Amino acid sequence: MVNTKVTLSGWQLDNPVIPASGTFGYGNEFKDFYDINILGSFSFKGTTKEPRFGNPTPRIAETPMGMINSVGLQNPGIHAVIDHELPQLKKFFDKKVVANISGFSIDEYAYCCQLIDKEDQVGIIEVNVSCPNVDHGGMAFGTDAANVAAVTRAVKAVTTKPVYIKLSPNVTDIVPIAKAAEEAGADGLSLINTLLGMRIDLRTGKPVIANTMGGFSGPAIFPVALRMVYQVAKAVKIPVIGMGGVSSAEDVIEMMYAGATAVQVGAANLKNPYVCKEIIENLPKVMERYGIKDLNDIIGKA
């Protein structure tokens, strides 16, 4: 027998597999495909203070080894999530979830996190700092260490649950930003969010995405994500959740060798809704193939 259980900030998961935010909705969309209680947990759709319709269409573009999206944080808003989505979730999911929170100002992050912190169904608050800071010219919070630290401190001041900061890869060096989050009190880190990419329609000569550029994800970014997880895990003492192009049990193990304690699966869910189920079922077999008895033994051992 092998051990697939892992622990994030005192919260034990049956396995390290977590569908990533924005690819799993609030769970309802996937419950008819399989019993999602087999998951370690899942990170629900990025949630903001006010409801958002999102960006204009087209929002999605294919690439040879991935996809580009510019959905624009479409969500019903924090109050609808608390009043409707979480009560619905309780009917078919028995575990705690990762609450992904987004915002466009420090006050908005703090407001949403303070509310979601009160919900028993939430195990970890995952703060997405890839949003544009509307108070400072629209530059994403996550590209500046001081901004990341400010968001982290504001959220930690109003919460009791573990706070994981989800980092943007669209920076020259991710390590100082990770350290800034740790020093400001983050309990853990999630990385990476999507890279920035675009496609052009040769028939029209115009960008495929209405917003010109979008978040690039899928298998093509896995080596970049793995490298950043490795760099950050070596530099901080808090847990790391790794993600970016993960689509197999082998990818999960590779991420854990790089330093991830748990692993999120994103774009692969959109191509194959059963991918997380398949990864969880294959994980013990792959562990046995490589002589791994306990996943905790390989975290950060690369």
Identify the weakest region by mean pLDDT among 34-38, 71-75, 185-189, 264-268.
71-75
CA distances from 269 to 14, 165, 257 (A): 20, 22, 23
Residue 114 to residue 108: CA distance in whole angstroms: 10
Residues annotated catalytic, as ranges: 131
Domain map of the chain by residue range?
A: 6-297
pLDDT band at 140 (very low <50, low <70, confident <90, very high): confident
**CATH 3.30.470.20 assigned to 6-297:** no
Read off the pLDDT of residues 86-103 as tens digits, 9 standing for 90 and up. 999 999 999 999 999 999
Q: Under a CB-based contact definition with an 8 Å cutoff, are residues 279 and 255 in contact?
A: no
Strands 195-197 and 200-201: unpaired
Mean pLDDT of the chain: 96
pTM flag (> 0.75): yes
Residue 200 to residue 65: CA distance in whole angstroms: 16
Residue 154 to residue 152: CA distance in whole angstroms: 6
Angle at CA of residue 195, ends 242 and 149, nearest 5°: 65
As a residue count, the chain comes to 302
